[in-house]
Structure 1
């Protein structure tokens, strides 16, 4: 599996952006909208965006696989956020200066506490031994997913630490049009970031599973390619998102050859998401959770067991996956 850029920080927009004072389409409580201009971001130009690989931006929650307790573990994204008082000061500064620059944080006092084993994300800057918040006033980071932590029960459903495996959705090696759900050793995913998608994540835009039988899977970032993507041109991208079958995605993430990542979200263009069916949930999928389930001695993982009963079964659409009563 080719390794793509690891998502450890907020990814910049492929276009320069501006702030409009109108209700956000993405966050109900946000009274401003970040929109794309027609000017390509210099970061994208410097990284030769025209030669980058365009991949589907998936709507879930970001995860990371790294070592914990001496073995490969799934980590959940947990940004360290400011307290209410500190956030008020930060937003007041932003509003009066139209910028977050020159704002002084006291990391020890201004930020909420995080779990004991929380770690800042890669490339978070440090000053005097303390992590420096980003332009949004957050400190991106990770927390290990313990199997008995109810807060991360849906993360836990896709991993089995005793067996050292994870449930992954990916394009089939034999046929890129076909998706497959399969078991992958966690060790093979080390230092990669992935998106957890499914029934109980972000309103389930892909229509996976049901309340009675939830379905969640991990998707490696960069693994779902966009074929024949439009050039990085504002008008052509707007048309592609609205008129193309392939454009029924939350956004695009471009993986540049130098490792730089840039993205474009539908909300940057003033377009709704979700907006009807998606290209992902309409793709055919085959389940490859085979007889090795016994070898792994999985008894307590309902999702692994349920999927093993569908081994070899092909569904015409991802959202059609269902289990026998």
Structure 2
């Protein structure tokens, strides 16, 4: 209600999803992580980390006030050279970012998506730098990028034993009959060889 965004559940697919070719997308398991980009830097393939340029405090305040008074964030006037926090010299804007007079145009959230190269032993991007070795030109990548099975049918945690401990008598709340808590309470104190072996009596 107070944020500059709206969440709307609808039966129609947004034009942004269609433009991104959602029908050809490969659904994958959500793994906690971050966006990455690989492109040439210093005459060799380099891993880049996501770094969005954000407005400084004064510009952010102006933008928020504008959003409260108007509908379309695209109508807000940005002075990219003065309104944004400085970016590292090697920062580049993300592809397909609209540009006016050589300056990238901020998105509807007031950010300019972009990238910075991940240098060896960079503490800020330690997780990124841990998967690349520029000297040997090797990197770890997700299985589906190599054409291997993804998601992995039996991950480490999926193959471990599970004990259900869900006694609803200890709870003050009354849960809806379709709620997962109710389903788990019906198999309270049971042990299963792995997650996939849990079958609910629906």
Instruction: Tell whether the structures are fold-level matches, with TM greater than 0.5.
Output: yes
Q: Which residue pairs with 1:79 in the alignment? A: 52
| Pair 90,57 (structure 1): closer, same or farther in 2 beyond 3 Å | farther
List runs of 5+ in structure 1 lacking aligned partners.
1-20, 23-29, 180-205, 208-241, 244-281, 284-325
| Pair 101,177 (structure 1): closer, same or farther in 2 beyond 3 Å | closer
List runs of 5+ in structure 2 lacking aligned partners.
158-178, 181-194, 197-202
Residue number among 78, 84, 103 corresponding to 1:130 in the alignment: 103
Q: Which residue pairs with 1:187 in the alignment? A: none
Query: TM-score if structure 1 supplies the norm length?
Result: 0.43
Between Structure 1 and Structure 2, the one with more strand by share is 1
Residue number among 66, 69, 89 corresponding to 1:93 in the alignment: 66
1:146 CA displacement: 0.7
Aligned structure 1 segments of 4 or more residues deviating by more than 3 angstroms: 30-33, 42-49, 51-54, 171-179
Does the aligned pair in 2 maintain the 1:94–1:100 contact within 8 Å? yes
Alignment of 1:117-196 (within 5 A): 117-171=90-144, 173=147, 178=152
Q: Which has the larger radius of gyration?
A: 2
What per-residue deviation string (whole Å, max 9, x for no partner) do you get for residues 251-300 of structure 1? xxxxxxxxxxxxxxxxxxxxxxxxxxxxxxx89xxxxxxxxxxxxxxxxx
Does the aligned pair in 2 maintain the 1:119–1:143 contact within 8 Å? yes
Residue number among 56, 60, 65 corresponding to 2:28 in the alignment: 56
Bigger RCO of structures 1 and 2 (CA < 8 A, at least 6 apart)? 1
Does the aligned pair in 2 maintain the 1:93–1:99 contact within 8 Å? no
C-alpha distance in 2, partners of 1:53/1:129? 32
Alignment of 1:1-325 (within 5 A): 21=1, 34-44=7-17, 51-56=23-28, 58=30, 59-171=32-144, 173=147, 178=152
1:177 CA displacement: 6.1
| Pair 71,34 (structure 1): closer, same or farther in 2 beyond 3 Å | same
| Pair 45,173 (structure 1): closer, same or farther in 2 beyond 3 Å | closer
1:168 CA displacement: 2.1
| Pair 46,99 (structure 1): closer, same or farther in 2 beyond 3 Å | closer
RMSD: 3.3
Aligned residues: 158
